[in-house]
Amino acid sequence: MTEPGGSRETFATQFGLLMTMIGVAVGLGNVWRFPYMVGRFGGAAFVGVYIFWVALIGVPALMAEWSLGRATRRGTVGAFARGGLPGGRWIGWGLFGVVVAATAYYANVVGWVLVYAVGSAVQGFGASVDPSRILPPEHGIDPTSLGLQLGATATVLGACGFVLVRGLRAGIERASRVLIPLLFGTLILLVIRTLTLDNIQQGLSWYLRFDPTDLTPQVMVAALGQAVFSMSLGGTFMVSYGSYLDAKAPLGRTAGSTALGDTLAGLLAGLAILPAAMAYGLEVGSGPGLLFATVPQIFAAMPGGNLLGPLFFLALFGAAYLSAVAALEVLVAGLTDNTGLTRRKAVWILIGIVFLAAIPPMLNLAIFIPWDLTFGSGMQTLGAILVAVTVGWCLSRGRALDALASGTPPERRHRLLLLWIRYVIPGALVTVAVWWVLQDLLGVLGSL
**Structure confidence at residue 286 (pLDDT):** 60
Establish if 154 belongs to a structural domain.
Answer: yes
- The predicted structure's pLDDT at residue 413: 94
pLDDT for 72 equals: 94
pLDDT at 127 over 90: no
Lowest-confidence segment of 38-52, 273-287, 312-326 by average pLDDT: 273-287
| Position 448 in a domain | no
Q: Is residue 7 part of a domain?
A: no
Average pLDDT over the chain, rounded to an integer: 88
Average pLDDT value for residue range 345-373: 93
In a domain, 62, yes or no: yes
Contact 327, 100 (CB under 8 A): no
Q: Is 1 inside any structural domain? A: no
pLDDT (tens digit per residue) in 277-311:
888 887 776 655 677 877 888 888 888 888 888 88
Domain membership of residue 2 (yes or no) is no
Residue-wise pLDDT for 215-235, tens only, equals 888 888 888 888 888 888 998
pLDDT value at position 41? 82
pLDDT at 372: 80
Instruction: Give the up-direction half-sphere exposure of residue 147: CA atoms within 13 A in the CB hemisphere.
Output: 4
The Cα 263–Cα 278 span in angstroms is: 22
Is residue 388 one of the residues assigned to a domain?
A: yes
pLDDT, tens digit (0-9, with 9 covering 90-100), for 368-383:
888 887 877 678 888 9
Alpha-carbon distance 72 to 390, whole Å? 11
Q: State the residue range of the domain holding 195.
A: 14-441
Domain count, the chain: 1
Give tens-digit pLDDT for 46-85: 889 999 999 999 999 999 999 999 999 999 999 999 999 9
Distance CA 294, CA 316 (A): 15
Which CATH number fits the domain that encloses residue 373?
1.20.1730
